[in-house]
Amino acid sequence: MHDHYDTIEFDSVEYMATSGGLSCPDSDARMAYYGNNGLPHLLFNGGGMLVGAGTDVIDGSVYHPIVQSLLADATPLKMSISSFSFDGQNAHVTVDLELEGDLADISQTRLRVAVLEDDLIYSSVNYNNILRDMLPDQALTINTAGQAQQITINFSSDPGWDPTNMRLIAFVQDDSNKEILQSCNSLPAPDYSLRYYVLGETVLIGSGQIAFDQSALFNTGSMTDTYDISLDNSSLPAGWSASFSHGGSDYTNLTVTLDPDARALFNVTVDAVSVGGGEVALTLHSQSGQTPDRTITFKVITPDVQVLLVDDDGGAGYGALYFEPAIASTGKSAATWNRSSAGLSAEVLANFDAVVWQCGWAFPTVDADDRAALAAYLDGGGNLFITGQDIGWEMYDNGGASVVWYNTYLHATYISDDTNLLNLQGVHGDPITDGLILGISGGDGANNQQYPSDIDPRGDGASTILTYDSFRNGAIKADSGGHKVVYLAFGFEAINNAADREVLMQGIIGWLLPGESAVPGDLPGAIALLGNVPNPFNPQTDIHFSVSRETNVKLGLYDVKGHLVRMLDAGVLTPGDHSVLWDGNDQVGRAMPSGTYFARILGEGQLKAVKMMLVR
């Protein structure tokens, strides 16, 4: 990770366990402070513990989306190490603190300084960032913008330490939630370095002209530098526009020169003139060529969007590749929220008729804040489609409240982590999956299924919709009477062809949001649902449809909750026009009551639906 970020952007400390030869008492104390529940473990900014890591993440590359999402976080605290020494009994460190904003409560906020050593050899392995000592905690005496505090800590340098490999990391931590507010280190500042922040949220719900809060670019290097600031509008929908303001003028491109420790301030505005979602990217480029470009993404989603896709796969890119095209095939308006860039609240989720939450194979999966937001959304009558191969494993590994949430809101019982099975089939009579056969390896899918899980439906209103075999289940749906949930215990992105992904997504969205048409208009393809005559009707109506070529179709009747009422036709049909009579009865001949019903025809990866009114 240190290869990707300069010495000002990224600090890390390794706390070694007593089972190894590089531990110290303070390492044990710090692990106890964080409530370590497994080795190895990893924390960013004092929270979000990640436990376990395989050889595929040894270089830290999978954690870049997490680090990138934290780089823009604003802090009211400036700090630096102005003096230090590792001179035996006279070792010391001086830390300068300055507040640019108020701190509400400093009673549990402490300055901490870690003494680290690099290039340590243990069992023929070279280790860096190893904690050697934690200096005594120091209380803050400042809490108002403009105040400053200087703290000097004297300590003894162990004779066994190599001063040439020693460094200090100072950080301010709030013990009430373990959040780290700011950090700095004793390494010399690079010649060229930039930092930035964004106040407020980088994803907003709204329409018309949407103004984001202030952004700032800092020159944190030791040399004067010139920066190119550019705003990429290419991902905006047609008709949308955006710009950023600086010094009272609006720009899409600007060049500024900054002395060391100087800053430039910006505000991005997006004009959202139609239904949907759009994003812009503000890129900060140093003309020195000595520091990587940094990009801040701003996104607007209009509140009349029907389906929100939450891209929570840790930057794997599955959302754009597999989910967005499948959702587009349903005909519902949709937008994507990048969970790595911004958190979600129940207030945000409440804007959308349905939420599609895709987890990929990233950790942490659906964290405590996410679970709280989803619980409130579902309690308010929301509709959720969630998919990921290790959701159940992680919730049960966390235990406690995580398991309760999983059982209560996903309506599932976790059975086992890895079925080692990569084919699934639908359940006869299920309105979503009847007749489906899916493969989740190879093809044009993500081919990423290491641990497709086994789950069981839990509670009234929950049922299995996809099975691996007669003993193991891969997906459930649940209708609580207040909310609906579809949960795949494998990754939707792994389905090995686009047609099956579209059919499954159409079925899921059609069940979550039964409506007049799952696919608006007459899209080119093998089937067309022409309507029913008469409509309204009592007690029977003819449903007309056509197929352009020999096609295997299924025509079913569903109620407003998405429950199958009757299967009217199934099998291979010849090209031409067809009609089927519905006499207003269900599968066993019972007369259905007055109300709204949907005729849905499925064939060759297409799903068409029409609304009908039975009036008795």
Q: Is 50 exceeded by the pLDDT of residue 380?
A: yes
Angle CA 384–390–297, to nearest 5? 65
pLDDT beyond 90 at 494: yes
pLDDT(521) > 50:
no
Kindly report which listed range (58-72, 142-156, 230-244, 351-365) carries the lowest average pLDDT score. Answer: 58-72
1-188 placed in CATH 2.60.40.10: yes
At 195-253, the pLDDT tens digits run 898 888 889 998 888 999 999 999 999 999 999 999 999 999 989 999 999 999 999 99
Cis amide prior to 452 (ω within 30 degrees): no
CATH 2.60.40.10 in the chain, residues?
1-188, 194-301
Other beta carbons within 10 angstroms of residue 227's beta carbon come to 21
Terminal Cα-to-Cα distance of the chain (whole angstroms): 69
Query: Would you tell me which CATH number, out of the four given (3.30.70.3270, 3.20.20.140, 1.20.1250.20, 2.60.40.4070), belongs to the domain 527-614?
Result: 2.60.40.4070
| pLDDT at residue 89 tops 60 | yes
Question: Residue 217: its pLDDT value, please?
Answer: 95
CATH 3.40.50.880-classified regions of the chain: 307-512
- Cα three-residue angle 299-300-301, rounded to 5 degrees: 125
Which helix (H) or strand (E) segment holds residue 529: the answer is strand 527-533
> Residue 600 — very low, low, confident or very high, per pLDDT cuts 50/70/90?
confident
What is the pLDDT of the chain when averaged over all its residues? 88
Residues of CATH 2.60.40.4070 domain(s) within the chain?
527-614
The pLDDT tens digits of the residues spanning 316-364 come to 889 999 999 999 999 899 999 988 778 889 989 999 999 999 998 877 7
The CATH H-level (homologous superfamily) assignment of domain 194-301 is Immunoglobulins (2.60.40.10)
Q: Which CATH superfamily is domain 307-512 in?
A: Class I glutamine amidotransferase (GATase) domain (3.40.50.880)
Backbone angles phi, psi at 220, to 5 degrees: -100, 10
